[in-house]
Amino acid sequence: MNSPLLDVRDLHVWFDLERGDRMHALRGVSFAVERGEGLGLVGGSGSGKTTAILALMGLLPPTATVSGEVLLEGENLLAHGEDSVRPHRWKDIAMVFQGAMNAFSPVATIGRQIAEPMLLHGTVTRKAAERRVGELLELVGIAPGRAGRYPHEFSGGMRQRAAIAMALACDPKILLADEPTTALDVIVQAQVLELIERLRHELGLAVVFVSHDLPVVAQVCDRIAVMRTGRIERLGAVEEVLT
């Protein structure tokens, strides 16, 4: 297998606005991610980071028009719309949404919320899902016994770990993490970065780490892409981009 794990070619996104206006949010973005690699996607607010990763997941709203190629192990996820991406979403390519740690429902246990997507897919029994939730929590450094706790009983850092656990439920090859450490204090941020590092090494997981914070990204990534107004302005090894 010589092709990269993920190869994004000339990705454009337009959003339909009111009164027939259109906004060209992503303007020809190209980058590749190798197996197990950490790629940082850095840029100011509104530069197109979230739009880019939602496009890779096929999760943009219906007002979006997308062009270009998203090749996952050579297969174009944009070829036939939803039909092309559905079999790979969460199974091969998964994401942690921006603000995910605050998106848990307050009325269900963390364990139930992590299990829900697995049960929805109908591929696992309740017992197997429970076991998998335990494994996933353990993987992200949370005692499996805490599956029965509610989100308010978790710290922000633990909720962020739980959100990462949820994304890993189907053993993806690549994880897209949108601002996973934003809003966490420095110590907890370091713990989440450490976790992502460990997952890369233990699972051979490729990670696209989205952030507006260059030093943070430099800690966990091999290469960095700097975005500005819908384009990648620079792309290179961490040391190269930092200087």
Strand partners of residue 38: 207
Closer by beta carbon to ligand ADP, 97 or else 154: 97
Dist CA 180 CA 155 (whole Å)? 14
Contacts with Mg ion by CB under 5 A lie at 49-50
Neighbours of 216 (CB within 10 A): 22
For residue 192, give every residue at least 6 positions away whose Cβ sits within 8 Å of its Cβ, in sequence order, or none: 157, 160, 161, 164, 180, 181, 184
Task: Please check whether residue 115 is in contact with residue 133, taking contact to mean a CB–CB distance below 8 angstroms.
Answer: yes
Catalog residues that contact ligand ADP under the rule CB under 6 A. 15, 23, 25, 43, 45-51, 61, 63
Q: Which among Mg ion, ligand ADP, none contacts residue 45 (Cβ within 5 to 8 A by kind)? A: ligand ADP
Give exposure, 15-33, as e/b (b: 16+ Cβ within 10 Å). beeeeeeeeebbeebebbb
Provide the edge-to-edge strand list for the sheet that holds 38-43: 93-96, 174-178, 206-211, 38-43, 223-228, 231-237
Q: Tell me whether residue 49 or residue 132 sits nearer to Mg ion (CB atom).
A: 49
- Residues belonging to the chain: 243
Smallest separation (angstroms) from ligand ADP to the CB of 160: 17
Smallest distance, ligand ADP to C-beta of residue 129, A: 32
The partner residues of 232 in beta bridges, in order of sequence, read 227
Q: Which of Mg ion, ligand ADP, none interacts with 181 (beta carbon under 5 to 8 A by kind)?
A: none
Out of ligand ADP, Mg ion, none, which partner does residue 143 contact, by CB within 5 to 8 A per kind?
A: none
Would you say the C-alpha torsion 138, 207, 77, 113 has a positive or negative sign?
A: positive
Q: What is the DSSP string of 121-139?
A: HT-S-HHHHHHHHHHHHHH
102's contact among ligand ADP, Mg ion, none, with CB below 5 to 8 A by partner kind, is: none
CB of 227 to ligand ADP, least distance (A): 7
**Min CB(178)–ligand ADP separation in Å:** 7
Sequence-distant (≥ 6) Cβ neighbours of residue 134 within 8 angstroms:
144, 147
If the CB atoms of residues 136 and 227 are measured against ligand ADP, the closer one turns out to be 227
Least Å distance, CB 214 to ligand ADP, is 14
Q: Which is nearer to Mg ion, 41 or 136 (CB)?
A: 41
Q: Which does 111 bind (CB under 5 to 8 A by kind): ligand ADP, Mg ion, none?
A: none
- The least distance separating ligand ADP from the CB of residue 50, rounded to whole angstroms, comes to 3
Question: 2 contacts which partner out of Mg ion, ligand ADP, none, CB within 5 to 8 A by kind?
Answer: none
